[in-house]
Amino acid sequence: MPSNKSVSDAPIVQFTNCRILRDHQLQREDLWVREGKILNPEKLFFDEKGSADVQLDCKDGIIAPGFIDVQINGGFGVDFSLATEDFKSGIDLVSQKILSHGVTSFCPTLVTSPPSVYHQVLPQISVRNGGAHGAGILGAHLEGPFISKEKKGAHPEHCLRTFEAGAFQDLLATYGSLDCVRIVTLAPEMKRSSEVIRELIKRGICVSLGHSVANLSQAEEAVQHGATFITHLFNAMLPFHHRDPGIVGLLTSDKIPAGRRVFYGMISDGIHTNPAALRIAHRAHPKGLVLVTDAIAGMGLAPGRHTLGQQVVEIDGLNTYIAGTKTLSGSVATMDTCVRHFQEATGCSVETALEAASLHPAQLLGIEHKKGTLNYDSDADFLMLNDSLYVQATYIAGEEVWRQDTLGM
């Protein structure tokens, strides 16, 4: 077929001999990419009379959308909640290292910190596209300090805050700026939280409920005001009770506004959530499940002492504790590990496991038109995986940014 480059001179790459995750199914078809976007081959053939410039044989591998991690506190020795002079090089290191675990976009997450930390760190986080330099940054996730003392988890109590009169101004003064902020986790039972939720939603910021002792009606009210996410379900919230299921009850609530979906994060590392609890959540509300790592600076490092913001944590195997306690403090699991554990623990399909780390977080952030799918015209951020869901190669904007056999793990 003669090539007609009237539309674009950019090379067209055709990935062949693969199974593509599209429309919730692994489909045996080719993937076509040009200029960082996924092409519709019918338009290419019939409108442009075009053909591929390069063909790549995927050797019967799986092609899935790149993973999106909306809660990651750091990794590889870097802690996003520490205001250091080389913060930018730290965030660059993490964004580069997570490519090998299939993450193509992420939300750097700050745990509860003094205002001075937010004021120093947030101006150094900028939304940017991914590429060979590393995964794309979608904006910061601020987890606290407006959370419950009773359910503070690994967050330092002396830094916790409540909403005073002029609640939203108080939040602005604490953070300094919301320019690069994508998600805020807060406890909805706090006085004046409703007005804060409404103001954040107006600015296009996702509100997540977590580190909270809220009852179900308080959680439902927060959702009615615009909250759409639950931070690490089951962890740092009231346990499920049959007379008042608390925030967990949102998974099956009949008070969710029409057309709205509540999403919930789960740390599927085999430590934070018993496999039975993972199965209960998934069966109750499969379309809302978002896999998150909640990874801390110790991810990718040897066991020992590391930091999480203002606290010292100890890593023992996959367990991470506030030093000297048995309080869990984030995870050291990578996203690809979480996907494999989720699939194994729930017995769900490969498609379901992959979408929990790609499509669902994209839907949560309202970016599913460009990320989290392999639909035509979406960003060509995708992974090649084997049948055991180990990442073989990572692509951003159609360019290979990591490959197993060349860089190793």
Q: Would you state the pLDDT for residue 406?
A: 52
Distance CA 194, CA 374 (A): 37
Q: Is the pLDDT of residue 15 over 70?
A: yes
Closest to 265 measured CA to CA, from 349, 168, 331: 331
Tell me which of 71 and 407 has the higher pLDDT.
Answer: 71
Q: What are the binding residues for substrate? A: 154, 235-236, 243, 272, 328-330
Model confidence band, residue 104 (pLDDT cutoffs 50, 70, 90) = very high
Q: Is the pLDDT of residue 95 over 70?
A: yes
Q: Is the pLDDT of residue 383 over 90?
A: yes
Q: Would you state the pLDDT for residue 408?
A: 42
Q: pLDDT for 178-187, tens place per residue?
A: 999 999 999 9
Cis peptide bond prior to 114, omega within 30° of 0: no
Q: Would you state the pLDDT for residue 51?
A: 86
Q: Would you state the pLDDT for residue 274?
A: 93
Q: What are the binding residues for Zn(2+)? A: 143, 211, 232
Q: Is the pLDDT of residue 224 over 50?
A: yes
CB 389 within 8 A of CB 340: yes
Measured in degrees and rounded to the nearest 5, phi and psi for residue 92 equal -65, -40
Model confidence band, residue 43 (pLDDT cutoffs 50, 70, 90) = confident
Q: pLDDT for 352-382, tens place per residue?
A: 999 999 999 999 999 999 999 999 999 999 9
Distance CA 142, CA 118 (A): 9
Closest to 61 measured CA to CA, from 25, 15, 24, 104: 15
How far separated are the first and last CA of the chain, in Å rounded?
41
Q: Would you state the pLDDT for residue 48?
A: 79
Q: What are the binding residues? A: 143, 154, 211, 232, 235-236, 243, 272, 328-330
Q: Which of 69, 79, 269, 294 is catalytic?
A: 294
Q: Would you state the pLDDT for residue 403?
A: 97
Distance CA 145, CA 136 (A): 26
Q: Would you state the pLDDT for residue 143?
A: 98
306: CB partners within 8 A, 6+ apart: 77, 79, 296, 297, 298, 312, 313, 314, 315
Closest to 103 measured CA to CA, from 75, 140, 66, 74: 66
Model confidence band, residue 46 (pLDDT cutoffs 50, 70, 90) = confident
Domains and CATH numbers, the chain: 13-64+373-403 (2.30.40.10), 66-365 (3.20.20.140)
Distance CA 97, CA 301 (A): 12
Query: Catalytic site residue 387?
Result: no
Amino acid present at 96: Q
Q: Would you state the pLDDT for residue 1?
A: 41
Residues 295-305, mean pLDDT to the nearest whole number = 93
Distance CA 176, CA 181 (A): 11
**Percent of the chain clearing pLDDT 70 (strictly above):** 97
DSSP states along 35-98 = TTEE--HHHHHHTS----SEEEEEEEEEEEEPEEEEEE-EETTEETTS--TTHHHHHHHHHHHG
Q: Work out the mean pLDDT of the chain and round it to a whole number.
A: 94
Q: Would you state the pLDDT for residue 398?
A: 97
Q: Would you state the pLDDT for residue 47?
A: 83
Q: Would you state the pLDDT for residue 229?
A: 98
CB 109 within 8 A of CB 144: no
Q: Would you state the pLDDT for residue 382?
A: 98
Q: Would you state the pLDDT for residue 4?
A: 45
Which residues share a beta bridge with 319? 316
Between the alpha carbon of residue 312 and those of residues 236, 299, 306, 308, the distances in Å are 19, 14, 6, 6
Q: Would you state the pLDDT for residue 400?
A: 97
CB 71 within 8 A of CB 231: yes
